[in-house]
Structure 1
Amino acid sequence: MFKGSMVALITPMDDKGNICKKSLKKIINYHIRNKTNAIVSVGTTGESATLTQKEHTNVIMNTLEFVDEQIPVIAGTGSNATSESIILTKKLEKSGISGCLNVTPYYNRPTQQGLYLHFKAISESTYLPQILYNVPNRTGCNLLPETIAQLSKYKNIIGLKDASGDLSRIHKIKQLVGNDFLLISGDDTTALDFIQLGGIGVISVTANIAANYMTKMCKLALKGDFNKARQINKKLNTLHHLLFKETNPIPIKWAAKYIGLIESDTLRLPMTPLLQKNQHILKKIINSINL
């Protein structure tokens, strides 16, 4: 169910900062047409940090409605409070989501034992499949391979999204977990190499605006046709980097508006609009690859 190009979906807002259901439906239809393999709703790219819990739940439910069972939906349910993650996960149990993406607790910088007990508690509270999410440059903590191995023993902890960009981790993790444990890239710039080393796909920021390219690249890579996959990745490489020229999701929201997928690139404070100089750079690369 979870493999290939999976989009870390942006959360569209109107000019006043309210959730824009019209744009959400439009961008979801774009992913259905371009055969994106799964949608992650309200992860980091979906601005989970600035949505209220009610908005968070509503966006996931709207996503499920617009998807209409055509693509698996993975809900971002992570928090730096274990109890909050459990509450949100339990609330979504009968919603129709295919699984949860659980980020490592941010800001409070737990120990490895704290990380283990956090994810263990969430796992034991639900039957929903759980994907661990490691993104140390945003959370201030790093989920180590040994801790991942411990957690992989829980039946409903099915995989890991690793956005560390550290490809040396893959081999060590694979040695410690079972063959059915899913390894998913969370870093577009290294995603193709990640798949070649044994990953099953990517949860992608770039896919928000280049869904067709990302779907084709992942499909080719998973078939073992890395020469053709690299041709696509070479075309996207500059874009991968530019989409992190400023903090995600600032550039990707501007880009989605520029190509007409959403009506506004509004973000909530403390996130601010893309700088004018970076708009010009991003516009040039978008035009050069005909997005």
Structure 2
Amino acid sequence: MNPYDLFKKTPQSNCGQCGYPACLAFAAAVTKGGEDPGKCPFLDPADPDLARREGPGLEQLSRRRDLELVEYLKSKIAGLDFAALAADLGCEAMTGDDGEALLFSFLGQRVRLDRNGVLIDGVEPEDPRDQILLYNYVHSRGGAAPAQRDWIGLESLPNTISKVRTLATYCEKPLAALFAAHPPAAVLAAGERLGGRELATGAADLAVIVPVLPRVPLCLHFWAAAPEEGFSAQAKVLFDRRVLDFLDLETLVFAGERLADRLALLLEQPGRAV
């Protein structure tokens, strides 16, 4: 896709919500420089044309930026006292031959994070966004554990216009598909394997609270399909009102994606170890 093709998909109003002064400038940045098309709240993140942008190596450019951000976040946490932060992060601090490290759970997986790198179940993550998420969590310095009573949708958090659709596309719609394909008891069992628990509520057919990170629980609401009324299965992700104290919006949405990925893996391979 060239800049003009993408420009025709924008509102062409130069509203500035993407951070660029004009829609054409934004379109050029996306197609030529690898800018995130999700910054325009009017583009459909599921549009397959957005994956066909001009310019060589856009995926490599994105990965390179992610790796640079990982190194930046490492520098930001380099001076932190892990032992002093551990309790507020819900982590365990340890000191070994390689220095201080934090141990904690991430969607049922064991994380070891130190100033040099991250291991998830003993393996370095392939996707640098996992490292970004985990380093951002530590960089937040933590806080009191959420009471898990004040749940809100992403749209109730500030500056989430473009992120709401991204969350729907890559998290809520896949979760709804899982609920349509599997019995509620199986979905609940998969959530419980990740440390989750059922929430008694009359607002949904099933509600499950899953701790993505020790201080970042997500509350999943599921509704079964009602074909006679023309409704397909639906899912909604709710967050604790203080969630931005622990993760920024970008990594928060990615946390939702990862939760959907983990539930899908456990439902499709029920005998798989967590």
Shared fold, TM over 0.5: no
Relative contact order, higher structure (CA 8 A, sep 6+): 1
Using the size of structure 2 for normalisation, the TM-score is 0.23
Q: Which has the higher strand share?
A: 2
Larger radius of gyration: 2
